[in-house]
Amino acid sequence: MAKFKTHYDNLNVSRNAPTSVIKAAYKALCQNYHPDKYIGGHDEALRIMKIINGSYAVLSDPDKRAEHDRWINKQERDHATDKAQRIMSIISKAYVEPPVTSPQNVPASYLTPIGKFWTNIRSGVNQVRLISIPSSKKLNLMLGAIGFVVIVFAATTLYGPGLITKTVATAPVNQDIERLLKKAKQLARQGRTAKALPLYLQLAEQGNAEAQFQLGLIYANQQGVTKDDKQAADWLARAAEQGHREAQTKLGFMYATGKGVAQNYHSAIYWCYKAAEQGDAVAQFNLGLMYAKGQGMAQDNNLAVSWYSKAAEQGDAHAQYNLGDMYANGVGVAKDSKQAAVLYRKAAKQGLTEAVAALKLLEQ
Could you please report the per-residue DSSP string of 87-122? Answer: HHHHHHHH--PPPSSPPSSPPGGGHHHHHHHHHHHH
Tell which CATH classification among 3.40.605.10, 1.10.3290.10, 1.25.40.10, 2.60.40.10 matches the domain 279-364: 1.25.40.10
Contact residues for 217 (Cβ-Cβ < 8 A; gap 6+): 223, 232, 250
Compute the Cα dihedral for 164, 167, 171, 177 and give only its sign: positive
pLDDT recorded at residue 108 = 46
In CATH terms, are 7-94 and 279-364 the same topology?
Answer: no
Residue 17, SS3? coil
Instruction: Please state the rounded mean pLDDT for residues 70-89.
Output: 65
Instruction: Please state the rounded mean pLDDT for residues 324-330.
Output: 94
Share of residues in the chain with pLDDT > 90 (%): 42
Region of residue 12 (left: phi > 0; alpha: psi -120 to 50; beta: else) = left
Residue 79 buriedness (CB in 10 A; 0-12 / 13-18 / 19+): middle
CB 324 within 8 A of CB 355: yes
Instruction: Please state the rounded mean pLDDT for residues 132-151.
Output: 49
| Residue spans per domain, the chain | 7-94, 107-174, 191-278, 279-364
Instruction: Read off the pLDDT band of 215 (50, 70, 90).
Output: very high
Residue 285 buriedness (CB in 10 A; 0-12 / 13-18 / 19+): buried
**Residue 143 to residue 223: CA distance in whole angstroms:** 69
Residue 311 buriedness (CB in 10 A; 0-12 / 13-18 / 19+): buried
pLDDT recorded at residue 120 = 56
- Angle at the Cα of 180 from the Cα atoms of 165 and 166, rounded to 5 degrees: 10
Residue range 7-94, CATH number: 1.10.287.110
CB 355 within 8 A of CB 320: yes
**Residue 357 to residue 324: CA distance in whole angstroms:** 12
Instruction: Please state the rounded mean pLDDT for residues 294-311.
Output: 91
Instruction: Read off the pLDDT band of 174 (50, 70, 90).
Output: confident
Quote the DSSP letter at residue 332: S
Instruction: Read off the pLDDT band of 115 (50, 70, 90).
Output: low
Region of residue 45 (left: phi > 0; alpha: psi -120 to 50; beta: else) = alpha
Residue range 191-278, CATH number: 1.25.40.10
pLDDT recorded at residue 116 = 53
**Residue 250 to residue 336: CA distance in whole angstroms:** 33
CA distances 307 to 80, 284, 296, 328, 342, Å, are 33, 5, 16, 17, 18
pLDDT at 265 over 70: yes
CA distances 91 to 61, 173, 207, Å, are 44, 16, 11
